[in-house]
Structure 1
C-alpha cells in the first residue's frame, strides 16, 4: 500500500469515527463517554466540532481514535465464543469501565 493510499484510509477512518462519536455524544453523552472511552471534556470538544473542523482533523495524518484493548484479558473475553457469551461481554464491559479515561492533550 502506498503512502497516499494509507493517508486516504486514515482520513476515512478518522472521518467515520468523528462523525459517529459526535452523533453518539449528541444522542446520549453519558453512554458515549463510556463506549468511546473518552473524558467528558473530550466529549464536549467533539460535540462542538463544526463540519469543517471535523474534515480538517480527519485529514491530519494521524489516527484520532485509539485501540482500547491494551489488556489481553479484555480482548480475549470479547473474542472468545463460549456458551455464555453475554456474561463474558458483561464482564469485559465492567473491566473496561474500571479503567481510567485518558484525556488527550
Structure 2
C-alpha cells in the first residue's frame, strides 16, 4: 500500500467515524459518550457539524479516532488467547467493565 492509498483510507475512516459518531450522539447521547469515549463538549460540537464541515475535517491526513485500549490486561481479555468459548463472554464483560471504569475516570 502506497502513501496515497493510506491517506485515502484515513480520510474514509475519518468520514465514517464522524458520521457514526453523529448518528450515535443523536440516537442515544449517554451511550454515545461511553462508546466513543468523548466529552460532552466534543459531542455538542460533532452534533452541530454540517455535511460540508464533516467532509472538510475528514479530509485531513490525521486519523480522528484512536485506540482506547492501551492496557495489556484489556487486550488479553479481548483476544482471549487459548480460552474456551464459554469464557469468551466473561472475558469480554471484564474488558467492558475495565474500559467503563476508565471512561468514568476520564469524565
Does residue 56 (structure 1) correspond to residue 61 (structure 2)? The answer is no
Q: Any idea what the Cα deviations from partners look like across 1:44-70, whole Å, max 9, x if unmatched?
A: 111111101110111011000011110
Pair 1:98-2:101 in alignment: yes
- Rounded Cα–Cα distance in structure 2 between residues aligned with 1:40 and 1:57: 19
TM normalised by structure 1 equals 0.89
Structure-to-structure mapping, 1:1-105, within 5 angstroms: 1-80=1-80, 81-82=83-84, 83-99=86-102, 100-101=105-106
**Structure possessing the higher radius of gyration over alpha carbons:** 2
Per-residue deviation, residues 3-25 of structure 1 (Å, max 9, x unmatched): 21111110001011111111011
Cα displacement (A) at 1:71: 0.3
The answer to which structure has the higher helix fraction is 2
Q: Which has the higher contact order (CA 8 A, sep 6+)?
A: 1
TM-score (norm 2): 0.87
Q: Which runs of 5+ in 1 are unaligned?
A: none
Determine helix, strand or coil for the equivalent of 1:98: helix
Count of residue pairs the alignment pairs up = 102
**CA displacement at 1:84 relative to structure 2:** 2.1
Q: What's the RMSD between the two structures over aligned residues? A: 1.4
